[in-house]
Structure 1
Amino acid sequence: MTTVTTTREEASVTTPTSTTASSQTTQHFLLPDVGEGLTEAEVVSWRVAVGDVVADGDTVVEVETAKSLVELPSPFSGTVVGLLVPEGTTVDVGTPLIAVQTSGPAGPGDDAPRDHAHRPAPVAPTGQGGSGLQGGPVSAVDHEHETEREAVLVGYGVRPATHGHPARRRRTVRSQRPGAEAAPSSAAVAPVAPAAPGQRASTDRPLASPPVRAMARDLGVDLARVVATGDGGVVTRDDVRAFVDARGALPEPPAGQAADVVQLPAEAAPAGAGSDERETRIPVRGVRRATARQMVASAFTAPHATAFVTVDVTRSMKMLERVRAEREFRDVHVSPLLLVARAVCLAAARHPGINASWDELAQEIVIKHYVNLGIAVASPRGLLVPSIKDAHEMSLVQLAHALGDLVSTARAGRSQPADLSGSTLSITNIGVFGVDSGTPILNPGEAAILCVGQVAKKPWVHKGKVKPRDVVELSVSFDHRLVDGDLGSKFLADVARVLERPDTALRWA
């Protein structure tokens, strides 16, 4: 069993150094902020091994954030001398991932990153400090640099840019097994002074990432009483641990375990912990954890209401057959979802209030004059909702191509963070599973979501006679704070009208 902990300590006066031997320098690649203010990621799979030669830009590792799988390229060219984080481990942004031995001594510009995503850092010589997963050093001095863009915590927005060099910090990743001693540090550092019980941070509502808040909640810690040492006054995991240590609330470590290796809450438990032949326990992380949190927040924040309608879509199904035969549609998958997407865009233009969001802080309804159409997609990693940007401006052909690319990319687990954010109105198609109807939960930040059931032959009264017709049931869930029953029903009726008589789209376009 491998326990990986990340510690942050304020460094004393420390001079950055690099290991240089025979004109070779060992560089560390730190986990970057891959976008949207994410604070952590899980190492899914390594694409290289110790001894492999990599070039600048070669993919070395695949990580999973709360939104997507991301392939990270190496910012160096050289030989891999250490993989510092095991697969399946979740680590914070800034944690050293891989050590690469590069040619030539470190120059004046080696400590400066070539962009915000790649931040090489000097490392301790091999044989000093702890050992990584597959050899190589594991300690690195993380030198923060001046930048106009900083990683942000979800929910707090972008902090103003800071000028000058902030305090240097050291990150240490330990591979610790029961009975093994903790690896000594290779850098001289001054320990963080523990927060005194009852001491409050300078802000009324402390800044902290969701995992840190969960950790504090599990340990019974009031974050407002914790002294924050992170950049910009952010409370870190170590701050919470220091506070708990100061009040004497942490249990003694198990026999044989180093005292400075703190057992984290259940969310950091190794995969399969507690499983037996009668049960299987699956760690909730990445997309599934993010989805669970968002759905709980949505269900208990936005008052949901749902309206239903059953539609004869025989004409639309016949239209799809004609469309599939046209040359410009031969290279794309044409399905009923394509017509539903088009109908939603048209109906939203007639009822702008359905394409809106609720601004709790300002107590305002924000109406969007564009449609970023979210499509719920079931993937092996869980439910994803990538969006088609500016779908309202697309022709039917463009929408078909965008929809096909979006679904195939999401099912392959390759949607990028930008694809999974910014949606304004969503569709979930449960008809592909043979289900007739449902009451979906809103995608957080949106006013409505349309649910599409299966298209099935059913007896229907058509022109005074009962005939078998293609019928589908639609439902729309909406946030009753900003969408009332009148608006929700009118929107749903217009979507149904376009699907029942596709020629309506010509008059509304």
Structure 2
Amino acid sequence: MITEFHLPDLGEGLTEAEVVQWLVKPGDPVALNQTVAEMETAKAVVELPSPYEGTVSTLHAEAGDTVAVGAPLIAFDVAGDEPEGDEPASDAEEKTEPNLVGYGAAPASSGRPARRARRGTAATSSAAAAEAAVIEAAPHDALPPSEAEPVTGERPRSTPPVRAYAKRLGVDLVLVAAEVGDRVITRSDVDAYAERIGATGSATTTASGGETTDAPRTASAPPGGERAQTRIPIRGVRKHTAQAMVRSAFTAPHVTTFHTVDVTATMDLIEQLRADKALADHRIGPLVMIAKAVCLALGRNPSLNATWDEDAGEIVENHFVDLGIAAATERGLIVPIIRDAERLSLTGMADALTRLTQTARSGKTSPAELAGGTFSITNIGVFGIDAGTPILPPGQSGILAVGAVRRQPWEYRGEIALRQMMTLSVSFDHRLVDGAEGSRFLKDVADLLEQPGRAMLY
């Protein structure tokens, strides 16, 4: 019989999702938990598994359509006499529940221990959790897209964002795969192929006279002298970013403090650790050292790790650090979370950052991994920028911007010497954090980077 499947909440109370691409068509047989579509929410691209075993009957939306949570998405022809709805078709299927990316493992297969209970859960739920921010930078240790986890199956090997990008340009990834061979296809591969064949995607272009037309979006620049405009729909990550940043900027009174730090000792220590063969499996870089210093400094300055709960009239101090790290992806800039970062050793922090960036670059970061951070780090230094005034992620009271490391003359032990310098910028919510405590936090981070041995005193 025909059974309708309605779009579920893909995580954190999101109300809609866009169909990136269908992986099945009407008439195709499907197995339980087989991926049938890739859906883009405001936070991530997720793979949608089939909740039934049967045959695809109808697709209620096309690629590029936005579907509301609860709306019919796909219909299946399922054997048996079950009533229509979203329940599994048999007892056997109940034992193997569909596993939606973002929800974690299904109950029957979940073997992970439950996280400890935390105080102040109201401060990290509902709207605040749903507004995990996208920040203006990427970590130094971000891995190149070519190191992303490959997508298995008979499809060309690429990540969900690259497949969506190729679809917008009208590029067939099967043909790209024939040129690049057996490796993961990157966005640059798609661009190169599109330029050669003159591929186009859809966009709305406004001519100089003001008339709006549905014109193709080309992979190359418009002809010289033509006054043209390209209109790109505001959706997905960009739409969510705009809403979250406006809400944060007009809710929390921002203050930013700057401090230039001599990080020569930290950079020397990094070189020593990288030369240690026993640590060869760990990617220890500047961001790892900074993340560790931030966790230690937050323990001494708890208001930077707190949340303003307007409804309850309370300041919620978190006795754990869920550390957000900005990561550049082809979908945009996202901030996945390292849970309980204060518990990690230096090598543990390095491994967590590596996993975080690999997952983000492969487009597999789930909505749950983007929600509920307590403090964030954004690395503007990767762009050669020295300092900035980052906007707070909604619900957080502090964010640290990390500038570029530059070798420059500096006073050292009474003389002028060439030292490796970095500027740190911390923005904080002045409702929770006084200027003195914000400055103390920044000074604590700076002291740990200037003299990394001081970490032994914390």
TM-score by length of 1: 0.63
Amino acid at match of 2:87: A
Tell me what 2:254 maps to: 304
2:260 maps to a residue whose letter is: T
Post-superposition Cα deviations, 1:196-235, rounded to whole Å, max 9, x if no partner, equal xxxxxxxxxxxxxxxxxxxxxxxxxxxxxxxxxxxxxxxx
Whether the aligned pair in 1 keeps the contact of 2:380 and 2:386 (CA below 8 Å) is yes
1:462 aligned onto 2:412: yes
1:44 corresponding residue in structure 2: 20
What CA RMSD, in Å, does the superposition of the two structures yield over aligned residues? Answer: 2.2
Partner residue of 2:29?
53
Q: Which residue of 2 aligns with 1:82?
A: 58
Q: Deviations over 1:85-128 (max 9, x none)?
A: 111111101222222223x332369763456989xxxxxxxxxx
Measure how far apart 1:68 and its partner are.
1.2
TM superposition shift of 1:397: 1.0
Distance change (3 Å), C-alpha of 1:96 and 1:321: same
Write the deviation string for residues 47-73 of structure 1: whole angstroms up to 9, x where unpaired: 223332221011110111111111110
Asked if 1:480 is matched to 2:430, the reply is: yes
Q: CA deviation at 1:417?
A: 1.0
| Pairing of 1:114-263 with structure 2 (within 5 A) | 114=94, 154-155=126-127
Equivalent position amino acid for 1:393 in 2: R
Match status 1:471 vs 2:421: yes
Question: Which of 78, 81, 101 in structure 2 is aligned with 1:106?
Answer: 81
- Counterpart CA distance in 2 for 1:49 and 1:109 is 20
Distance 1:154 1:422, change over 3 A: closer
Q: Is the 8 A contact 1:33 1:117 kept in 2?
A: no
1:30 aligned onto 2:9? no
Q: Closer, same or farther in 2 for the Cα pair 1:364/1:154, shift >3 Å?
A: closer
Offset at residue 271 of structure 1 (A): 6.2
Does the 8 Å CA contact 2:399/2:427 hold for their aligned counterparts?
yes
Residue by residue over 1:227-250, the C-alpha shift from the partner in whole angstroms, topping out at 9 and shown as x without a partner, is: xxxxxxxxxxxxxxxxxxxxxxxx
For 2:439, the aligned partner's letter is S
* Residues in 1 aligned to 2:263 and 2:50: alpha-carbon distance in whole angstroms: 52
Structure 1 residue 460 displacement after superposition: 1.2
Alignment correspondent of 2:237: 287
Ranges of 4+ aligned residues in structure 1 off by more than 4 Å: 108-111, 113-118, 274-277
- Counterpart code for 1:61: A
SS at match of 2:64: coil
Aligned to 1:272: 203
Structure 1, unmatched stretches of 5+, are 1-24, 119-152, 158-269
* Structure whose residues are more often helix by fraction: 2
Q: Which residue of 2 aligns with 1:66?
A: 42
Secondary structure, in 3 states, of the residue corresponding to 1:445?
A: coil
Q: Which has the higher contact order (CA 8 A, sep 6+)?
A: 2
1:428 aligns with 2:404: no
Give the secondary-structure state (helix, strand or coil) at the position aligned to 2:438: helix
Show CA shifts across 1:353-387 (max 9, x none): 11101011122111110000011112221221111
State how many pairs are aligned. 337
Question: Residues 45 and 110 (structure 1 numbering): CA distance in 2 closer, same or farther, change over 3 Å?
Answer: closer
Q: Which structure 2 segments of 5+ residues have no match?
A: 89-93, 101-124, 130-200, 208-221, 223-227
Contact 1:66–1:289 (8 Å) recurs in 2: yes
Alignment-derived partner of residue 284 in structure 2: 334
Deviation digits for residues 425-458 of structure 1 (CA, Å, limit 9, x no counterpart): 0000011111111110001000010000011111
Which position in structure 2 is the counterpart of 1:439? 389
Q: Partner amino acid for 2:394?
A: P
Structure 2 length normalisation: TM-score? 0.70
User: Counterpart of 1:106 in structure 2: which amino acid?
Assistant: D
Q: Which residue number in structure 2 is paired with residue 368 of structure 1?
A: 318
Deviations, residues 16-46 of structure 1 (Å, cap 9, x unaligned): xxxxxxxxx2222221111211111111111
